[in-house]
Chains A and B, each alone.
Chain A
Amino acid sequence: MNFAEIPNALVSSIILAGLYVLVGLSWVLLFRATQIMNFATGQFVLLGACLYYSFTVSLHLPFIVSLLFALLIVAAIGASIHRFFIRRMAGNEGFFAPVVLTLGVSTVLSQIVNLSYGAGSLAIALPITQKNFNLSSNIAVTSNDLVTLVVGVVVMFIAQLLIRRSRWGIQMRAAAESTVLASQSGINVDRVFMGGWAGAAVVVAIVGITYGASTIVTPTLADIGIRGLAVAIVGGFDSIVGLIPAALIVALAENLSVVFFGESVRDAAVMIVILIVLAVRPQGLLGTKAVVRV
């Protein structure tokens, strides 16, 4: 335990929250649209980073093109999960089947990445000059960190705008309330759901690229997926705004417990936060209702 590390932990929590908020957004987006929790979320983080690596490093494409291609492919994979699997399930086998499905999908995606990129580490970079900003003698913030925060804020803003104002957003909320009425009203529900999957995948692929650029791309990058579940639960699974305080809480809980109990507590600390919220306030900070409760 080293109290001198606390300020550093606080600063890095804020930056980490910039990533977590987007991973949480991915869970919430998909859950709001389709009532499905995607346990393959982390694999989309990894996939985004790996595809970006292929386009920038292997194919030497410019940043914008690489980014667009990577996001497009990830969106297509996300949408096809609905198109080819979820849609073929009768739709009335309860909550468990989709969970198992996404667990299976996560295995498949992991192994596809493993087969195509190997289990080693890949280095990716954003087209910015690397600089360190020293906040104090032992706290430094890199330009990647700042990009992470800005991207987090911008993507959250766009997502909120899309859901509240865009035609797709309104259709998504309608379909979430009643798929039957939505279809009767002329909404192509499957396309809305595919949009939900694509959006959820794109959001975490962005995380993969920014996060991968500030660390390194290895299969463990996917572990951030489960953090997003924690953020979504803390914020309330049907609330976008709740994600912001939730991301901060999860990042803080994680970093502070590492300061106090050492690195190995990282995963467990997040899970304890989940259990506390489930026990005390199952609807989360700003959620309107518990997702499933007797």
Chain B
Amino acid sequence: MTANNETSSADRGIRALIRRRSVRWVLLGIVLVLLAAMPFLASDYQLAILVSIFLAVIGSVATNMLIGVANQASIGNAAFLAIGAFSGALVSNYLGWNPILAVLSGGVAAAVIGLIVAIPAVRVRGLYLIIATLALHYIVLYLLTRYQGSTVGIGGFTMTPITFPGLTLQQGWYYIAGVVALVTGLVMRNLLRSKFGRAWFSMARDEVASRALGVNLFGQKLAVFGLSSFILGIEGALLGYYIGIVSSDQFTFDLAVSYVAMVVVGGLGSVAGSVLGAVFVIGLPYLVTWLTGLLPAAVATVLSTKVFALESLLYGVAIVAFIVFEPRGLIYIWRRIVGSVARRFGRRPVESDSAVETTERPKAPPVKEPVHRLAETVLAARDLQVTYNRLSVAVDGINLSVGRREIVVMLGANGAGKTTTLRGLSGFLPAENARVSAGEVVLEGQRVDGKLPFELARRGMALVPEREKVFKTLTVTENLAVVPTRKGGDRSGMLALIDEIFPALRELRTRQAGYLSGGERQMLAIAKALVSDPKVLLVDELSLGIAPVVVTRLMSSLNDIRKARDISILLVEQNAPAALAIADYAYVLQTGEVLLEGTGAELLKDPEVQRLYLGGSEAGHYGHYEASEDAPTLSATTLSAASRSARRDRS
């Protein structure tokens, strides 16, 4: 943002200051000095909270490396913490090693187990990895409990306390946990910028593609599992020393979930997010305790018995809220705050969403009156624009209409936007990442763009899609049964009609649709669309992959249906001559816009259509398709040279 408004000199001064790199280092230095001085400023209680947070940051970073960066969804964290803690306890209690070696041994032991787990994880992924690590958790904890019971009993191992000359226990631990957390964070930050980080990110996106790019999946998975369990093991051993006791009942499944929660709440794949998540999850109970302390004594006493449940409840609510409403986590919220502060002082925002949203193009000049056609309009698109993934515009400014009982054909080369137009007319699911971003769709006089596909289907719009057109795991009968009837539709009449037009389907009633031939599948798809007794039937690529004889039969079937019933049809077709022969009206699409339009007969004669789709004068070949007698054959209002040249001028 440029400085176009009046700014005070103080503002400008601050801005200049912040832009200077050296100033940022000074600020960082001040923060570090404050952190380093904290043990002498804060109470033991406050220090204990900070130590817990620092320790959690270690595991949070490690978990984020595995889950957030490398996309290896594991909930075995608590097991690795336990392995680290036990190993530290054994090494210090039985071998008498000093604490540093004991903590390192915890890391090594956890890393070894982590590597063993990684070997099957190379083949297993997704939900199965979650389940496998869940199983690992319970098995490891069982074995440790068993071992603990046979050696030291239920109480667990007692750790020799670490003493700090000149410092209290909390002060000493503040520095230890702080330094280890800082080192862990720096290691991950640098790793993410190295070739390891890039390999993990690409592995997380698409394993097959990353393998093709030369990523050694086996090696990388070993590396990320080994490293993250090493760090978790270190944290486990430190925890053991800090608490003073190592016992298997400390390492519950809930503990494992809390680390996953830190990562999700904080922000997947981000070091700073891991820290924020740890602060949130560890700090929340203390915050609740503090808040209840502020309440009137009477209320606080009542609440005090429920405090633990309340804390856990809030924590659960936070997990749900973040995963549903802000899956990018606290770090994203933090960046937005920093971004807006930075904007205030003239720096570029860290991350901006606004660049993505600008799909609106300058409006096209008002379109001329729709071509006058005899039939009443059933379905119309006005200036239809469809956008995928929030930014790629697939079709733009489509105007078309389908009159009652008309057959309207849409022609166009691959990528012209025919399928997208049909999808835009028939609606998108939220998960499809596509939407009608401008213009409107009108069905029977009512605006319907933005409605869900099923709502449109129930209002009488039936789509036969190009690819997934029948339910392969359902039988023919079930495929028909699954479709609800349009409000006021005549199901039994349609079933009788379907029997009449597609007698072949009668023989296949109990067959699974996945075992039908291409032609049979197409018949079923059309029957499935018809059974709801639609007002408009949209068919995408009727003839794709079907023998010409069958195409002929399907085309004449459609013609029959339209006549027998009050149904309008919009047909997308590659086979132009066959389609135009039965079309009352037709549109030719090119690169997401309507290039030509006119009655079927007109377009059949149009030199440009002949050149593009009919390969010269072959049209006579398909003469046995008679243009339907009730087609509105008004004089060629649309294809006048004037309108065509106007169209070219616009593009």
Q: Which A residues lie at the B interface, using CB under 8 A? A: 37, 85, 87-93, 95-97, 99-101, 103-108, 110-112, 114-115, 167, 170-171, 173-174, 177-189, 226, 229, 233, 264-265, 267-268, 270-272, 274-275, 278-279, 282, 290-294
Query: How many B residues touch A, CB cutoff 8 Å?
Result: 77
Q: Which of A92, A100, A167, A188 contacts B264 (CB 8 A)?
A: A100
Q: Which of B145, B309, B432 contacts A115 (CB 8 A)?
A: B309
Q: Interface stretch among B8-16, B124-132, B333-341, B396-404? A: B124-132
| Residue from B306, B316, B472 with most neighbouring chain A CB atoms (10 Å) | B316
Interface residues in B538-573 by Cβ distance below 8 A to A read none
Bound: A103/B312 CA distance, A: 12
The 8 sampled A-B contact pairs (Cβ below 8 Å) are A85-B320, A91-B430, A91-B431, A101-B320, A107-B319, A185-B532, A186-B457, A186-B484
Please tell me if the beta carbons of B145 and A105 are within 8 angstroms of each other in the complex.
no
Q: Which of A110, A112, A189, A292 contacts B125 (CB 8 A)?
A: A292
B528 at the interface (CB under 8 A from A): yes
Contacts of B254 in A (CB 8 A): 107
Minimal Cβ-Cβ distance residue in A for B470: A181
Closest 4 CB pairs of A and B: A91-B431, A107-B316, A104-B319, A292-B126
B19 at the interface (CB under 8 A from A): no
B36 at the interface (CB under 8 A from A): no
Please tell me if the beta carbons of A185 and B142 are within 8 angstroms of each other in the complex.
no
**Given known A104-B261, A184-B463, contact A292–B426 (CB-CB < 8 A):** no
Contacts of A275 in B (CB 8 A): 132, 135-136, 139
Please tell me if the beta carbons of B127 and A186 are within 8 angstroms of each other in the complex.
no
Bound: A103/B137 CA distance, A: 16
Contacts of B642 in A (CB 8 A): none
Q: Interface stretch among B177-185, B190-198, B474-482, B617-625? A: B474-482
Q: Which secondary structure dominates where chain A touches chain B?
A: helix
**Given known A88-B324, A91-B431, A110-B312, contact A99–B457 (CB-CB < 8 A):** no
Please tell me if the beta carbons of A100 and B474 are within 8 angstroms of each other in the complex.
no
Q: When each residue 124-161 of chain B gets 1 if its CB lies under 8 Å from chain A and 0 otherwise, what string results? A: 11111011101111110111011001000000000000
Please tell me if the beta carbons of B316 and A111 are within 8 angstroms of each other in the complex.
yes
Contacts of B127 in A (CB 8 A): 37, 95, 99, 291-292
Minimal Cβ-Cβ distance residue in A for B258: A107
**Given known A100-B264, A278-B131, contact A108–B313 (CB-CB < 8 A):** yes
**Given known A100-B260, A292-B127, A294-B125, contact A184–B312 (CB-CB < 8 A):** no
Least Cβ distance of B486 to chain A in Å? 8
Bound: A88/B73 CA distance, A: 22
Bound: A106/B316 CA distance, A: 8
Contacts of A108 in B (CB 8 A): 313, 316-317, 320
Please tell me if the beta carbons of A99 and B130 are within 8 angstroms of each other in the complex.
yes
Contacts of B323 in A (CB 8 A): 89, 97, 100-101, 104
Least Cβ distance of B427 to chain A in Å? 8
Bound: A278/B323 CA distance, A: 28
Please tell me if the beta carbons of B134 and A107 are within 8 angstroms of each other in the complex.
no
**Given known A107-B257, A292-B127, A294-B125, contact A188–B473 (CB-CB < 8 A):** no
Please tell me if the beta carbons of A181 and B471 are within 8 angstroms of each other in the complex.
yes
Please tell me if the beta carbons of B471 and A184 are within 8 angstroms of each other in the complex.
no
New A-B contacts (10) at CB < 8 Å, excluding given A108-B313, A180-B468, A292-B127: A103-B261, A111-B313, A112-B313, A181-B469, A185-B528, A186-B454, A186-B483, A264-B145, A275-B139, A291-B126
**Given known A100-B260, A274-B131, contact A107–B465 (CB-CB < 8 A):** no
Please tell me if the beta carbons of A173 and B474 are within 8 angstroms of each other in the complex.
yes
Bound: A128/B254 CA distance, A: 38
Q: When each residue 515-526 of chain B gets 1 if its CB lies under 8 Å from chain A and 0 otherwise, what string results? A: 000000000000
**Given known A93-B327, A268-B139, A275-B135, contact A167–B481 (CB-CB < 8 A):** yes
Least Cβ distance of A264 to chain B in Å? 6
Q: When each residue 418-459 of chain B gets 1 if its CB lies under 8 Å from chain A and 0 otherwise, what string results? A: 000000001101111100000000000000000011100110
| Residue from A101, A104, A183, A272 with most neighbouring chain B CB atoms (10 Å) | A104
Please tell me if the beta carbons of B135 and A173 are within 8 angstroms of each other in the complex.
no
Please tell me if the beta carbons of B482 and A171 are within 8 angstroms of each other in the complex.
yes
Minimal Cβ-Cβ distance residue in A for B318: A104
Least Cβ distance of B207 to chain A in Å? 7
Contacts of A186 in B (CB 8 A): 454, 457-458, 462, 483-484, 486, 532
Interface residues in B274-299 by Cβ distance below 8 A to A read none
Interface residues in B239-267 by Cβ distance below 8 A to A read 254, 257, 260-261, 264
Least Cβ distance of B629 to chain A in Å? 32
Contacts of B135 in A (CB 8 A): 271-272, 274-275, 278
Least Cβ distance of B140 to chain A in Å? 9
Minimal Cβ-Cβ distance residue in B for A187: B454
B97 at the interface (CB under 8 A from A): no
Contacts of A233 in B (CB 8 A): 131
Least Cβ distance of A215 to chain B in Å? 21
B40 at the interface (CB under 8 A from A): no
Please tell me if the beta carbons of A185 and B132 are within 8 angstroms of each other in the complex.
no
Minimal Cβ-Cβ distance residue in A for B129: A292
Bound: A184/B484 CA distance, A: 11
Contacts of A110 in B (CB 8 A): 312, 316
Least Cβ distance of A259 to chain B in Å? 16
Least Cβ distance of A62 to chain B in Å? 32
Please tell me if the beta carbons of B327 and A89 are within 8 angstroms of each other in the complex.
yes
Contacts of B465 in A (CB 8 A): 180-181, 184
Minimal Cβ-Cβ distance residue in A for B126: A292
Interface residues in B75-133 by Cβ distance below 8 A to A read 120, 122-128, 130-132
Bound: A265/B264 CA distance, A: 32
Please tell me if the beta carbons of A282 and B128 are within 8 angstroms of each other in the complex.
yes
B502 at the interface (CB under 8 A from A): no
B508 at the interface (CB under 8 A from A): no
Q: When each residue 199-235 of chain B gets 1 if its CB lies under 8 Å from chain A and 0 otherwise, what string results? A: 0000000010000000000000000000000000000
Q: Which of A187, A189, A268 contacts B138 (CB 8 A)?
A: A268
B67 at the interface (CB under 8 A from A): yes
| Residue from A170, A264, A270 with most neighbouring chain B CB atoms (10 Å) | A170
Minimal Cβ-Cβ distance residue in B for A164: B478
Least Cβ distance of A262 to chain B in Å? 9
Bound: A90/B312 CA distance, A: 27
Bound: A80/B60 CA distance, A: 31
Contacts of B260 in A (CB 8 A): 100, 103
Please tell me if the beta carbons of A115 and B138 are within 8 angstroms of each other in the complex.
no
**Given known A100-B264, A101-B323, A293-B125, contact A184–B139 (CB-CB < 8 A):** no
Please tell me if the beta carbons of A183 and B453 are within 8 angstroms of each other in the complex.
yes
Least Cβ distance of B210 to chain A in Å? 12
Q: Which of B309, B318, B457 contacts A184 (CB 8 A)?
A: B457
